[in-house]
Amino acid sequence: MAQSVTERCLANNQRYAAGQAMHQPTHPGPQPIQPARRLAVVACMDARLDVEDLLGLQTGEAHIIRNAGGVVTDDAIRCLIISHHLLDTNEIVLIHHTRCGMLAFTDDLLRTGLEGDPAAGKLLGQATGRAFMGCGRCASTPSAFHALRGAIEPLDAPRDENNIERLSWDVRRGMSSILNHPWIPTSGPDAVTVRGFIYDVDSGRLEEVSYPGPMGSFG
């Protein structure tokens, strides 16, 4: 059986973590619109993640969908549906990472702070290490910030069992959202595969998250 693109990306990641340059930055010239590797990646916007480098991808090989947290939002689902059905991708990779800022707040805390609550602003300032300036206004959008479930921690806290568990919960929820969406096929001739990972920003290595498994509670 031929090795999957995801497996080749994991092998590339091992070389990247060992210090080998993987991505070629030069313009490749004319290319087709369809990603050559038929791969779509949903990853966090964190500046420490260079997705093409850490997966050993070249320009034109994959769709890279990024947002705060690498969360599988409605918009990420929209992108994945278009990526698969119109542009022929058939492997999906989700990437969360250690020291993620989405571990340092809750949706309610951030919303309340933005609305001008001084106590919330103080907590957010303590978590982020910068003066939090509330806006003193309510807003209907965004409808959610998608902070990760669990007890908040200081911004950029080193990895430990608790935050790895929180990251794993969210990776699994993202995988579940994709695998159970009626417009993303996971069986039959048009099936996609979905795998999730946590990237360690200190080591440069990807660690796979098992699925199915715990997804956290609302408490």
Q: Which CATH architecture has domain 35-102+147-209?
A: 3-Layer(aba) Sandwich (3.40)
Q: What is the dihedral of CA 47, 49, 50, 51, to 10 degrees?
A: -130
Give residue 77's pLDDT. Answer: 98
User: pLDDT tier at 102 (50, 70, 90 boundaries)?
Assistant: very high
- 140-155 residue pLDDT tens: 999 999 999 998 899 9
Q: What is the pTM of this model?
A: 0.94
- 149-186 residue pLDDT tens: 998 899 999 999 999 999 999 999 999 999 999 999 99
Q: Sketch the domain layout of the chain as residue ranges.
A: 35-102+147-209, 106-144
Q: Are 61 and 51 in contact (CB under 8 A)?
A: no
Residue 111, token pair as written in the block: 């919303």
Residue 167, token pair as written in the block: 């990251």
Provide the edge-to-edge strand list for the sheet that holds 193-199: 62-67, 39-44, 91-97, 193-199, 206-209
